[in-house]
Amino acid sequence: MKILITGANGLLGQYAVKQFAGAGHEVMATGRGGCRLPDNAKPYQYTDLDITDKKGVLAYVTAMRPEVIVHAAAMAQPDTCELNREACYDSNTNATLYFTEAAEAVSAKMLYISTDFIFSGDDGPYRETDKPAPVNYYGETKLAAEQIVRQSKINWAIVRTVLVYGNILSGTRSNIVTWVKENLEKENPIKVVSDQVRTPTYVEDLARGIHLIVEKNAMGIYHLSGKEVLTPYEMAVQVADYFGLNKTLMEKVDASVFTQPAQRPLKTGFIIDKAEKELGYSPVSFMQGIRKMFPGKEAGMHK
């Protein structure tokens, strides 16, 4: 099957390319600028593509004629989105419209990657049927993009996910695990939020879940995340415990301590019963995810 993956240089994009290419699909990958995908994700065909260029998107998709478009590219930093609303809307909403229209032109299935930030955070964890109510501009643009996909005339699926973590295959990117590990190793004190709740998602699980949707030709909305409901502070404790690092350097704080342009939903996370039942989706625990990122590094293993 011919699969187009946007945002291929990002964390999810890299693993999605590797997942689909490894399964024998013909993979077309797009990203911004030069290719940062590692050799072990091959075979794939990479193209530098501006997702906000309507004509360019249509020309590329009609030339390549993918059967499935996995649209993972986005402006995903909430604070950046809050401060750069026009660019955010262009990247998250307009670009999704362009790919949806292009998918209609070639009769491709659209698989859109969305976020827990479409919800208010008042009463999570959430099911697929719960009502969205974003509290920041990033969430608003992602929800608007969802609505574009849902109103299209093509086969579609929407994958919402939460706090994705893992080792980027090529390049550098921080996530909760590496941020805690690197600071505690340097003996830097850190403040970690204890009044937000998430279901952290290991990136390989997410890529596998997306692959399952394509394999089974599943339609509709799916929540793909981990199962454990954890605060960032609880995540940080597990990271410190795994590596045997000093937890006294961690200060438990409320989100109100931080001054950020974009409000964060307090309690999100997902109930993933639908994905487990319909797709056979089965995510690892947060500790198993850490172990997969850093095998053999567990405290006491070599003593």
Give 136-168 pLDDT, tens digit per residue: 999 999 999 999 999 999 999 999 999 999 998
What is the pLDDT at residue 170? 79
How would you class 278 by CB atoms within 10 Å of its CB: exposed for 0-12, middle for 13-18, buried for 19 or more?
middle
Q: What is the pLDDT of residue 302?
A: 45
Please, what is the average pLDDT of the chain?
95
Residue 56 pLDDT > 90: yes
Entry pTM: 0.96
State how far Cα 21 lies from the chain centre: 19
Query: Residue 297: what pLDDT?
Result: 87
pLDDT digits (tens, 9 = 90+) for 250-296: 999 999 998 999 999 999 999 999 999 999 999 999 999 999 999 98
| Alpha helices (H) in 186-231, listed in sequence order | 203-215
Return the DSSP state at 247. Answer: G
Residues forming beta bridges with residue 23, ordered by sequence position:
none
User: What is the fold of 2-165+200-223?
Assistant: Rossmann fold (3.40.50)
DSSP 8-state symbol, 209: H
Rounded-to-integer distance, Cα 240 and Cα 22, Å: 33
Q: Is the pLDDT of residue 303 over 60?
A: no
Contact between 1 and 66 (Cβ < 8 Å) = no
Residues 6+ away with beta carbon under 8 Å from 63: none
3-state secondary structure at position 270? strand
pLDDT of residue 40 exceeding 70: no
- What are the tens digits of pLDDT across the range 190-202? 999 999 999 999 9
Q: Which of 241, 225, 232, 228 is CA-nearest to residue 181?
A: 241
**Mean pLDDT, range 90-95, rounded to an integer:** 98
Burial (CB < 10 A; 0-12, 13-18, 19+), residue 60, is: buried
Could you tell me what percent of the chain has a pLDDT over 70?
A: 98
Q: What is d(CA 105, CA 261) in angstroms, rounded to the nearest whole number? A: 39
Instruction: Please state the domain extents for the chain.
Output: 2-165+200-223
Alpha helices, H only, the chain: 11-22, 54-64, 78-83, 85-89, 95-106, 137-150, 176-185, 203-215, 232-243, 273-279, 286-293
